[in-house]
Amino acid sequence: MKKTVSLLITLILFSISITSCAAETNETINNTSIEIKLQLENSTITVNGKKKEIDSGNGTAPVIQDNRTFIPVRTVIEAMGGAVEWEADTQTAILAKDDTIIILQIGNKTAFVNENKITLDTEPRVINGRTMLPIRFIAENFGFNVDWNNSTQTIIITN
């Protein structure tokens, strides 16, 4: 498994270096203040005041299951300035930002952050046909702060 993780990390770093020019088109650029807002059962995301669909054309919204908030992460990770790869064969999401790589697998409570094995309190899952990942774990491991506004059911992610 360690050899597979190392290979995946190498591939991700290589693909990020190739697409570094595309990073300029992201809505955020490193060293910029970022505020991301998501609301339960709402399929839009607000990034620095600009709204768009979280999961274009699918209407997917954040949900709470097992006392954890799950979201389709691609739009959020890209708003943070990161990249997402999906390995369909193993149902594995590989998330990368700066020098941090997070690997999560559907149905598996074991995650990897830069090859460090971490046991999650709940596993990534598929909900209504969409891959949903625990946002707090991901955001905090990328160095972001996550706040929850219970009255509005809103997740606020800032750097």
What radius of gyration do the chain's Cα atoms show? 15
What tokens appear for 128 in the block? 């209504």
Mind listing the domains of the chain with CATH numbers? 2-25+33-158 (3.30.457.10)
Note the pLDDT of residue 31.
61
Token pair 């949900």 is at which residue?
Answer: 63
pLDDT tens per residue, range 43-79: 999 999 999 999 989 999 999 998 899 999 999 999 9
Give DSSP secondary structure letters for 128-146.
TTEEEEEHHHHHHHTT-EE
pLDDT tens per residue, range 119-150: 999 999 999 989 999 999 999 999 999 999 99
pLDDT tens per residue, range 92-125: 999 999 999 999 999 999 999 999 999 999 999 9
For residues 110 and 107, what is the distance between their CA atoms, to the nearest angstrom? 9
